[in-house]
Chains A and B, each alone.
Chain A
Amino acid sequence: MEATAATPDSLESSSRLWSWITTTDHKRIGILYGATAFVFLLIGGLEAMLIRWQLMKPDNDFVSAETFNELFTMHGTTMIFLALMPLSAAFFNFIIPLQIGARDVAFPRLNAFSYWVFLLGGLFLNASFLFGAAPDAGWFGYANLTSIQYSPGVNIDFWAMGLQILGIASLAAAFNFIATIINMRAPGMKLMRMPVFTWMAFITQFIIVTAFPVITVALVFLMFDRMFGANFYNPNAGGDLLLWQHLFWLFGHPEVYILILPTMGMVSEILPTFSRKPLFGYPVIVYSGILIGTIGWGVWSHHMFASGMGAAADTYFGAASMLIAIPTGVKIFNWIATMWGGKIRFTTPMLFSIAFIMLFTIGGISGVMHASPPTDLQQTDTYFVVAHLHYVLFGGAFMGIFGAIYYWWPKVFGRLLNERLGKLHFWLAFIGLNVTFFPMHLIGMLGMPRRVYTYSAELGVGGMNLAATIGALTLGFSTLVLVYNIWHTAAKGEKAGKNPWGAATLEWAMSSPPPVYNFSVIPEVTSRLPLWTVGGMNEIPDVPPEPIHVPGGSYWPVLAALGLVGFFTGALMHSLWVALAAAAVLVVSVFKWAFEPFEM
């Protein structure tokens, strides 16, 4: 999806492709993240369609058991690591510097490195399909099914190393954004004057920085078990299989807050704009976000209530998991209060944000249902949990992200997406989502476990599975409506001025798409809603009074990324030479990068 270039004056460079490969401009890296993540979203969606087609009727033989197991593993891994997180990262990259009044992120080349490691990691993971050895132990990959004894193929090596690479990309980006948000805010923008999207992104980065090391260690243990015969997950040597589950979910639950907090930030930007009213209870939303981030670290074992940890652990983790419903509930009430007394315009972003509130509430409630350990004994590992997670991740995260795509599209590309096509996309997605996932609550309670490639007719859930498949096809088609909308408005879309929606935050203070230096003069803010407050910020002239130095591109990040991923490829191939050669490329690139004159 070759995006239309940003304003012509900002992107003069010899060849367009090379300028994209060596770009260090946070806006272009954001577009790259968004485009790549959207392609992976379509791949993940295709996997979902195949899964639903196989489960359409009992004892179906559309795909083999092995293929189905690869499909549901890759659907989970792709949607979480290759679609949802990078789509959030696309908005982090493009919008955060604009919202805090900065010219770019703190370390532009590190930002480029993060993107290229992400892209190569995604290709590395999906290359497994070419070798007919796609990962097939679930996105969670419980121990000792992933051991060399029970998964002798390279499937799990692709999966474990793919996640390691993607982990490095997320960590590198997280350090970058934390430094950017702390140190590059415009004068006058105290922390409590930052836009809510930047706040939620800030919390998300701290969760990434503390959660990803845990899964990195768990994956290192798995790789040492598989490649060097270590005993971390070997019960015969005294190892405990629950070590993997604890380490994975210690990362896994903060991970789901990494997935949802950015979207809560997006919705908190969209609702005030289309209600023409400031966000209700800004400090409460910020503190409840922080609370969600911290309590999120104390609840991981609610994924393990059936593993027999004992009554004391179940009691603590059950109570702590229920506790998280309170800050989430507070946010939902604050969003509704934002709309209360407002002047609500039902544009596409607004529709998606309202649907986010509705569907995330349903997901939150079905979540509380299995926060209680005894009820979880019936619900865990069934389609009830599949319904819960899709209501919070699709109904929640993706609806919010679709809203944000329609909301910030004019700022990124200079043209508005077509509203009528947008509403068609919304209604198809809203109906498709409910038709697909609401019956799954019932399918789960009626006895269908998760991750089964088929089920018997006597189970009695054939009809509802058929409905879910029809709903899934509607969802698939709705996403294609968005693709058509993008293609249709690429040339003919309505031109967007500086502030097409009349929003209040800094990113709407410059032209769309923004010039490469973002702000002709560094903005100075005196209010949380600079564009809505009289004297809220200084005047931003269209032409910079004195020339602004814009750092050029650099090819060392992409080379370093190639070196890093090459090293993992060498490890996968059990070839020391490939690994050493790639490591050499990485080391040389890092040194060249460190000593390259790069004036911020």
Chain B
Amino acid sequence: MSQEVLEKPSAHPSARVYLSIAAILTAITVVEVAIFYIPAIRGTMVLAPVLLLLSAGKFALVVMFYMHLKPDSKLFTAIFTAPLVLAAAVILALMTLLGAWVY
């Protein structure tokens, strides 16, 4: 967060980029729901990691491109990711301490 003189304004991506990202997001959602309905995967242990990965992908896409975090100053990335990581840690810690990992 060193002091930068007025940062060079990076142009916002064109509409075409946004449309392609929307298409990817839709595709991932369709895949997620499809996986949900495949009985072979539904009951197994592999369902959760796959779905978490896919949704993390959607999460990153929206945050980096729609919320313009990727081209923006690293200041915003820092302010957003620190609490995000903390929130993830809190989720894992509470699930562990309250005994939620039982299957």
Contacts and interface: CB of A to CB of B under 8 A. Distances in A.
B92 to A, nearest CB: 12
B14 interface: no
Contacts of B82: 206, 210
B1 A191 contact: yes
B98 interface: yes
B1 A242 contact: no
Nearest to A240: B98
Interface string A306-324: 0001000100000000000
Taking residues whose C-beta sits less than 8 angstroms from the other chain, chain B's interface range is 10 to 19
Contacts of A297: 86, 89
Contacts of B1: 182, 191
B2 interface: yes
Contacts of A242: 97-98
A148 interface: no
Interface of B: 1-3, 75, 79, 82-83, 86, 89-90, 94, 97-98
A309 B97 contact: yes
A498 to B, nearest CB: 27
A246 B75 contact: no
B97 A210 contact: no
A142 to B, nearest CB: 16
B86 A246 contact: no
Contacts of A250: 90, 94
Contacts of B89: 297
Contact of A243 (B2, B86, B90, B98): B98
Nearest to A300: B93
A301 interface: yes
Given A182-B75, A210-B83, A297-B86, A190 B3 contact: yes
A246 B98 contact: yes
B97 A246 contact: yes
Contacts of B83: 209-210
A214 interface: yes
Interface string A179-221: 0001001000011000000000000001001100010000000
Given A190-B2, A191-B2, 14 more contacts: A178-B79, A206-B82, A209-B83, A210-B83, A210-B86, A242-B97, A242-B98, A243-B94, A246-B97, A246-B98, A250-B90, A250-B94, A297-B86, A309-B97
A246 B99 CA distance: 13
24 contacts: A182-B1, A182-B75, A185-B3, A190-B2, A190-B3, A191-B1, A191-B2, A209-B83, A210-B82, A210-B83, A210-B86, A214-B90, A240-B98, A242-B97, A243-B94, A243-B98, A246-B94, A246-B97, A250-B90, A250-B94, A297-B89, A301-B97, A309-B97, A313-B97
Contacts of B90: 214, 250
Interface residues of A, number: 18
Contacts of A214: 90
Nearest to B75: A182
Contacts of A190: 2-3
Contacts of A240: 98
A178 B75 CA distance: 12
Contacts of A185: 3
A178 B2 CA distance: 16
B77 to A, nearest CB: 14
Interface string A226-254: 00000000000000101100100010000
Nearest to A317: B97
B82 to A, nearest CB: 8
A210 B88 CA distance: 12
Nearest to B94: A246
Nearest to B98: A240
A262 B89 CA distance: 26
Nearest to B2: A190
A548 to B, nearest CB: 23
A224 B83 CA distance: 26
Contacts of B75: 182
Contacts of A301: 97
Contacts of B94: 243, 246, 250
Closest 3 A-B residue pairs measured CB to CB?
A210-B83, A240-B98, A210-B86
Contacts of B79: 178
Contacts of A243: 94, 98
Interface in A66-113: none
A206 B1 CA distance: 15
Contacts of A191: 1-2
A167 B79 CA distance: 20
A177 to B, nearest CB: 14
Nearest to B96: A313
Nearest to A297: B86
A346 to B, nearest CB: 39
A182 B76 CA distance: 11
B81 to A, nearest CB: 12
Contacts of A309: 97
B56 to A, nearest CB: 21
